[in-house]
Amino acid sequence: MLTAPNADGRPLFAAKDINAFYLEHCPKIFPRVKRGPLGLLKSIKGPKYNGKYLHSVVRKQLGETRVSQALQNIVVPAFDIKLLQPIIFSRYDAQSDVSKDALLSDVCISTSAAPTYLPGHHFETTDKHGKPRAFNLIDGGVAANNPTLLAMTHVSKQILMGNNDFFPIKPADYGKFLILSLGTGSAKLTEMSRDVSYQLQISIAPGHGSDFMVRS
């Protein structure tokens, strides 16, 4: 959303606005869920949150802005649960393939649809011949959980295609890539017993939904 343009062609949001946006809308996007048997039943039947408020806020903020109108080159992963394959949205692809030039709001909703927490998102676009293309998407982290590698692969693809926006270097000359990674913290690592090479833990707790964790 930081790359979405406003009416003057400037960024719709500044980085300093992120905290205020999060604090204002987060309690409504992720409201407290019911505990007890009813909460457990709801978590089994579907995602923990219905996503309605998130969808309304994103659509209101982004309006009819499309991926091709982003102010900077973006690469956004999602995963199609019907095709069982990752779908990557980027400004470069949107400029050459109209079927990938989706509404930025649809892309944001799709890539935030984390399984068990938010529902998947369905929308359609049309190709240059007017033929509809359907998307049934969830969070891209399901299949593309390394955004740095994804961005590097996309840049390499553009270099290979002769895109003039990039210096004429070899597509795999990663030593000349400069990466600025803005993380969200570091994972807490815990030691496990050495005699356990593989453990699948499934825990179901009232009011907390179902958590599936694979440890190795």
Whose CA is closest to 29, among 55, 6, 11?
55
CA triplet 174, 178, 21: central angle to 5 degrees? 130
Backbone angles phi, psi at 61, to 5 degrees: -75, -40
Long-range contacts, 16-19 (Cβ 8 Å, 24+): none
Task: Please report the DSSP string for 55-95 in residue order.
Answer: HHHHHHHHTT-BGGG-SS--EEEEEETTTTEEEEEEHHHHH
Choose from 7-21, 161-175, 199-213 the range with maximum mean pLDDT. Answer: 7-21
Mean pLDDT of 176-182: 78
Q: Please answer whether residues 47 and 139 qualify as being in contact, where contact means their C-beta atoms are separated by less than 8 angstroms.
A: no
Cβ-count burial 20-53 (b if 16+ within 10 Å, e if not): eeeeebeeebeeeeeeeeebbebbeeebbbebee
Mean pLDDT of 75-93: 92
**Residue percentage of the chain with pLDDT more than 90:** 40
Q: Which amino acid is at 154?
A: H
Residue with tokens 């707790």: 205
Whose CA is closest to 73, among 97, 91, 94?
91
Distance CA(55)–CA(110), nearest Å, equals 10
How confident is the model over 127-171, as pLDDT tens digits? Answer: 999 999 999 999 988 877 888 888 888 888 888 888 777 777 777
How confident is the model over 108-131, as pLDDT tens digits? Answer: 999 999 988 999 999 999 999 999
pLDDT of residue 184: 64
